[in-house]
């Protein structure tokens, strides 16, 4: 084994897991949470993921809006928030 590979293995040993593995872990947990008799279609799964993404985006925009000192940027964030709310309402 080359010396560089040994150093890479030692260096990466203590590193935190990346977001990819965390996302996979979350998907596995989500699949285990549903009841055994419950099956959802691909469209329903896609709609749930889209809603989750929209809610996360909405939360991020709200946080940016709280911290924004610029009035024009705040107006843009308000319009973005309204658009996200409309998309979330359409999914419900």
pLDDT tens per residue across span 66-89: 999 999 999 999 999 999 999 999
Domain count of the chain? 1
pLDDT at 26: 75
- The Cα–Cα gap between 28 and 37 comes to 17
Q: What residue numbers bound the domain in which 17 lies?
A: 3-91
Radius of gyration of the chain (CA): 21
Closest to 39 measured CA to CA, from 31, 27, 50: 31
pTM (two decimals): 0.56
Which has the higher per-residue pLDDT, 40 or 37?
40
Handedness of CA 34, 35, 40, 42 (dihedral sign): positive
pLDDT for 56: 96
Residues 84, 54: contact at Cβ < 8 Å?
yes
Structure confidence at residue 39 as a pLDDT band (50, 70, 90): confident
Q: 1 is written with which tokens?
A: 């084994």
């Amino acid at each position: 084994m080359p010396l560089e590979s040994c150093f890479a293995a030692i260096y990466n040993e203590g590193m935190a897991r990346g977001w990819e593995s965390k996302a996979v872990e979350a998907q596995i947990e989500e699949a285990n949470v549903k009841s055994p008799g419950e099956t959802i279609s691909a469209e329903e799964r896609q709609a749930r993921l889209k809603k989750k993404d929209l809610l996360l985006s909405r939360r991020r925009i709200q946080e940016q809006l709280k911290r924004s000192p610029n009035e024009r940027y705040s107006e843009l964030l308000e319009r973005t928030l309204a658009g996200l709310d409309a998309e979330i309402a359409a999914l419900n």
